[in-house]
Amino acid sequence: MNAMIPLLALRTQEVVRTWRVWVLPGVLVFLAATGPVITRFTKEILAGALGGGEFGAIPIPDPTAADAAGRWITDLSQLAVFVVVVMAAGAISSEVRSGVASLLLVKPASRVAYVVSHAVVLMLFVAVAALLGATVSWAVTGLVFDGAAGGVELVALLGATGVWVVLAAVLIAISLLASAAFDGMAAAAGIGIGAFFLLSLAGMAPRLAEFTPAGLIPAASAIATGASLNAATIWWPVATGLVLAALLLATAVITFQRKELR
């Protein structure tokens, strides 16, 4: 792959010198810092909103640190994925429209290196930001649930976040493929978000969740909350997710190789 190292350096600069370096980590740290607090004081918030009489009629269990850990994975799966998809959706199509892609490819840089460099830097950036957020979530959980993260282990929360990162890799690969196939960022983002919802729906089917990437979100939630899991329930979704991401990335490369540039 010609010019892979310079392209990786360029992609890293694009992250560091643009809105991306602030938006994704900012969103994740905000969710990580506020999630445990909201979980801890949910009953108080509802009591204030509904009033003592109405709230007393609703049986709500006392919040636990495991609930806060589960909320972190939920926030990743419901909010952070949209930021990840948007970042990947415009990666290729915006450079094709602006003519940057054509300039880079006459350096010379191969089209394979062009696509792969986008994927590698985006996936690493998302992984680092997500793991940072997981650490913040664990620390804040310890503060609001009386020390030691209320029994939630940092390793477990990082592991659950790592499983979610595999899902993010799949969505990045899908969005890059769509970005290579279509000129519009909106179309690529729509495909990425649609794929996420399909995976979420498929995860409700036990057999699909057990053996396919559709099980990544349930597996991450179970690890974070300390639920008992069969090892296969974790490794099958992770393995198939990584394979799917690789296949989608290969397809993105093939699609981009056949694309006519302006």
Q: What is the pLDDT of residues 93-121, one digit of tens each?
A: 888 888 888 888 876 778 999 999 999 99
Confidence grade of residue 262 (pLDDT, cut at 50, 70, 90):
low
Q: What is the pLDDT of residues 33-86, one digit of tens each?
A: 999 999 888 777 666 655 555 545 556 677 888 889 999 999 999 889 999 999
Indicate whether 28 belongs to any domain: yes
Report the predicted TM-score, pTM, of the whole model to 2 decimal places. Answer: 0.91
Closest-CA residue to 110 (of 258, 261, 245, 257): 257
Indicate whether 168 belongs to any domain: yes
Indicate whether 128 belongs to any domain: yes
Residue 122 or residue 56, greater confidence: 122
Q: Is the pLDDT confidence value at 191 over 90? A: yes
> What tokens does 111 get?
């089209």
| Per-residue model confidence (pLDDT) at position 64 | 85
What is the residue range of 28's domain? 3-33+64-258
Indicate whether 136 belongs to any domain: yes
| Per-residue model confidence (pLDDT) at position 78 | 87
| Per-residue model confidence (pLDDT) at position 229 | 76
Handedness of CA 63, 40, 228, 199 (dihedral sign): positive
Indicate whether 83 belongs to any domain: yes
* CA separation, residue 167 to residues 206, 219, 221, 241 (Å): 18, 11, 13, 7
| Per-residue model confidence (pLDDT) at position 53 | 53
Indicate whether 239 belongs to any domain: yes
Q: How many folded domains does the chain comprise?
A: 1
> What tokens does 114 get?
């062009």
| Per-residue model confidence (pLDDT) at position 227 | 83
Indicate whether 148 belongs to any domain: yes
Indicate whether 50 belongs to any domain: no
Q: What is the pLDDT of residues 192-251, one digit of tens each?
A: 999 999 999 998 898 899 899 999 999 999 999 888 778 878 899 999 999 999 999 999
Q: Is the pLDDT confidence value at 31 over 90? A: yes
| Per-residue model confidence (pLDDT) at position 61 | 73
* CA separation, residue 148 to residues 31, 254, 260 (Å): 20, 49, 56
